[in-house]
């Protein structure tokens, strides 16, 4: 018995050739439309985000007579950098104090959070989960609830209001989030075999942490350092209650620049851009490692 293997010709062959092509054309058209819609939506969101930035930037180069409500969307009639000079003259001492505040506060709270996270993740002890729950409870206490008791406590202890007081407050308030980040990081990244090998070799808790854990914690530290630096730099409420105008951070200086009977909107916008530069620089320099830390498990759990 033989099987007919003659090639298909005529209208049947044409129909077979057309069907895949039609499905391909429809699929390509649908993909192109969905991509176009996606790009349009992204462009609209981008414009929505950049419109305030546009207003801030162009206003910072205007003179006082050009900052009226009728011209808030218009480009400056006369471009000037005088608002930037005025803002920098006012904010320069505040910027120095903010750097002396944000850098040590971020480093200290990250180190404490790293030690806590290692103990809670890899060096278990009875009641570790309860201790971790109490530490996390500090994340859910709003600033407003502790501000007056905290200021009263510092006053009764005769602690001088200033940058050192603010460093202490931010370190304490930053411990819960840093502990959470490092606990999840160590639970995800550090293998149990490394810890067990260190114990077999006679390494104690401190030696294991200093010689083994810290060298592989760079991604976790980048996440917590950026997080804490940004939080401390942008904080206003702690600074308002725990410092004074002559020894406070840059957020108090920005409030002083924008205050008064007659507001200089151009200088205020220039000051807002100047105060945002340090955090922007931090994200530009460490952003690659920040994303790597997130992907490595720093915020998983």
Q: Where in the chain are the domains? A: 11-59, 82-298
Tokens of 7: 């090639």
Give the whole-angstrom CA distance, residue 118 versus residue 190.
Answer: 10
CATH number of this structure's domain 82-298: 1.10.3720.10
Give the whole-angstrom CA distance, residue 106 versus residue 167.
Answer: 9
Tokens of 127: 């009641």
Please enumerate, as own/partner, the contacts of 255-263 that have beta carbons within 8 Å and a separation of 24 or more. 256/90, 257/87, 257/90, 257/91
pTM, two decimal places: 0.80
Provide the residue-wise pLDDT of the chain in tens; the chain has 301 residues. Answer: 444 445 555 555 555 455 555 555 565 667 888 888 899 999 999 999 899 899 999 999 998 778 877 777 888 888 999 999 999 999 999 999 999 999 999 999 999 999 999 888 887 788 888 988 899 888 888 888 888 888 888 888 888 888 999 999 999 999 999 999 898 888 877 777 777 787 787 778 788 888 888 888 888 898 899 999 999 999 999 999 888 888 889 999 998 888 766 778 899 999 999 999 999 998 888 877 777 666 655 445 4
């Amino acid at each position: 018995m033989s099987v007919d293997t003659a090639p298909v010709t005529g209208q049947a062959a044409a129909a077979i050739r057309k069907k895949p092509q039609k499905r391909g054309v429809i699929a390509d058209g649908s993909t192109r439309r969905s991509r176009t819609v996606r790009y349009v939506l992204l462009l609209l969101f981008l414009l929505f985000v950049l419109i305030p930035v546009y207003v801030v930037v162009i206003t910072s180069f205007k003179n006082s007579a050009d900052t009226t409500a009728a011209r808030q969307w218009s480009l400056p009639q006369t471009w000037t950098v005088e608002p930037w000079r005025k803002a920098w003259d006012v904010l320069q001492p505040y910027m120095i104090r903010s750097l002396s505040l944000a850098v040590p506060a971020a480093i200290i709270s990250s180190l404490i959070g790293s030690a806590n996270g290692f103990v809670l993740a890899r060096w278990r002890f009875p009641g570790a989960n309860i201790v971790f729950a109490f530490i996390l409870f500090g994340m859910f206490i709003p600033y407003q609830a502790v501000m007056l008791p905290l200021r009263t406590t510092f006053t009764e202890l005769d602690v001088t209001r200033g940058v050192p007081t603010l460093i202490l407050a931010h370190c304490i308030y930053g411990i819960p989030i840093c502990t959470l980040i490092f606990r999840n990081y160590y639970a995800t990244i550090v293998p149990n075999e490394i810890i067990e090998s260190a114990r077999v070799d006679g390494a104690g808790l401190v030696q294991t942490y200093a010689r083994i854990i810290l060298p592989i914690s760079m991604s976790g530290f980048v996440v917590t350092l950026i997080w804490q630096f940004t939080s401390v730099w942008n904080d206003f409420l702690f600074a308002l209650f725990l410092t004074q105008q002559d020894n406070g951070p840059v957020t108090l200086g920005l409030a002083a620049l924008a205050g008064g009977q007659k507001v200089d909107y151009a200088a205020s916008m220039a000051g807002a851009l100047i105060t945002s530069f340090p955090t922007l620089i931090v994200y530009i320099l460490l952003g690659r490692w920040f994303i790597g830390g997130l992907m490595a498990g720093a915020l998983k759990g």
